[in-house]
Copies of this chain bind each other. A is one copy, B any other.
Amino acid sequence: MAKIRVGIINVTGYAGVELARILSRHPEVELVSVTGRSAAGRRLSGVFPHLASINLTIEPEIGDVDLAFSAMPHKESAQQILPLLDRGIRVVDISADFRLKDATKYQSWYGFTHPAPQLLPQAVYGLPELYRAQIASAQLVANPGCYPTGAILALAPIVKAGLIEPDIIVDSKSGVSGAGRTLSLNTHFSEANEDVTAYALDGHRHLAEIIQELNLLYPAPLSAITFVPHLIPMTRGILTTAYAPLAQGKVSIDQKGKERLFRLYMDFYREEPFVRVVEFPPHTKHTWGNNLCFVHPTIDLRTGRLIVISSIDNLVKGAAGQAVQNMNLMLGLPETNGLEAPAIYP
């Protein structure tokens, strides 16, 4: 049977090249076209020796495909995607260009006027744990940001249950690959190695997504979310530590409350192939190279505060893996296709 033909726009960034890796092992789709500006004309395996098994040349324009992934930077991504949508091609956009529902937010958070606000309502936020059905029938899926994936999966069950006060702190620790393949001083090895720092204290763009999505789950306005990302000296992984006061009187602040909380999370994610609710603080290492998200909810018994910790690989569940999960849903394929390989440890 002929495989489904897929392509990657901008294969040369870390999300794009990770997509190529995952798709190369997918049983039912075939990667037939990859683009990249600076590297156009070169063999994919020439630029990325680890992809020696893929026989493709990097092209300036995407070829004939059934579904395309865009791994372009924001703003440019929309420009590349619009003509594809017109031609009826289904698209998973890894950029931020269709994640926010409110077109005015693009101006305030990303500094550009959205070129196709009319498409925002129909674009589906590609977090399968929340929007599985809508993703399946969407033409355009907006793949979530890496930080929002970790933060929303950590908080969705408790926010939806209305068991916390609307007063959330998300403290995330990311590997450096999240900053991409473009050179900068803060991702220069000698600067980032043996160092940790917080950044974007005035508001990281991913906060807009976190607010939008958690708000959709919560019965009341939920704007008091503080998000502080940190860069730590490793290549892959995001650990998110989220804090919120438990709603007064709704969860007991004791061992029983902890158990109830754990069951709440277990129930919420029971059918999820890629979320594991665990009874220990998770390690990012245990997701290295695969699409799992580990979630550990607990209660600080001294203060009655919820603590939830999640771990993901920022390039897999935080980008390329989730994009393939979305693609599987859009194509009616088993959701885990191409994503079953365990993490690589140590």
The residues of B that contact A171 with a CB separation of less than 8 Å are 171, 241, 243
A203 at the B interface (CB under 8 A): yes
| Residues of the B chain whose Cβ atoms lie less than 8 Å from the Cβ of A118 | none
CB of A173 within 8 A of CB of B232, answer yes
Complex CA–CA separation, A199 to B342 (angstroms): 24
Known: A14-B346, A230-B173, A345-B50. A193 touches B196 (CB 8 A): no
Q: How far is the CB of A269 from chain B (nearest CB, A)?
A: 13
Given A230-B173, A232-B232, A233-B232, are A282 and B49 neighbors across the interface (CB < 8 Å)?
yes
Please list 23 pairs of residues, one from A and one from B, whose beta carbons are closer than 8 Å in the complex, sorted by A's number. A14-B190, A24-B342, A48-B345, A52-B342, A169-B305, A171-B241, A175-B190, A177-B190, A183-B188, A187-B190, A188-B188, A189-B192, A189-B235, A190-B346, A191-B285, A193-B193, A196-B283, A198-B281, A201-B300, A224-B304, A232-B232, A235-B346, A289-B289
Please, which residues of chain B bring their CB within 8 A of the CB of A50? 285-288, 290, 342-345
Contact A49 B286 (CB under 8 A): yes
CA distance A46 to B283 in the complex (A): 13
B interface footprint on A307-346 (CB within 8 Å = 1, 0 otherwise): 1010100000000000000000000000000001111111
Q: Which of B189, B290, B298, B305 contacts A176 (CB 8 A)?
A: B189
What chain B residues lie within 8 Å of A303 (beta carbons)? 223-226
The reply to whether A188 and B191 form a contact with Cβ atoms under 8 Å apart is no
Q: Which residues of A contact B (CB under 8 A)?
A: 14, 17, 21, 24-25, 48-54, 167, 169, 171, 173, 175-177, 181, 183-185, 187-199, 201-203, 207, 223-226, 228, 230, 232-237, 239, 241, 243, 245, 276, 278, 280-290, 292, 294, 298, 300-305, 307, 309, 311, 340-346
CA distance A302 to B210 in the complex (A): 14
Query: A307 touching B188 by the CB < 8 A rule?
Result: no
Please measure, in the bound complex, the distance between the C-alpha atom of A266 and the C-alpha atom of B20, giving whole angstroms.
Answer: 27
The reply to whether A195 and B234 contact each other, CB–CB distance below 8 Å, is yes
**A191 vs B202: C-alpha distance when bound (angstroms):** 29
Q: Which of A194, A278, A303, A305 has the most CB of B within 10 A?
A: A194
Are B294 and A194 interface neighbours, CB within 8 A? no
CA distance A276 to B226 in the complex (A): 25
Assess the A226–B282 pair: CB atoms within 8 A.
Answer: no
Verify B196–A194 contact, CB threshold 8 A. Answer: no
A181-B188, A189-B192 known; 16 other A-B pairs, CB under 8 Å? A14-B190, A21-B342, A49-B294, A50-B345, A167-B245, A171-B171, A171-B241, A177-B346, A193-B235, A197-B239, A198-B309, A202-B301, A223-B302, A225-B303, A226-B303, A243-B243
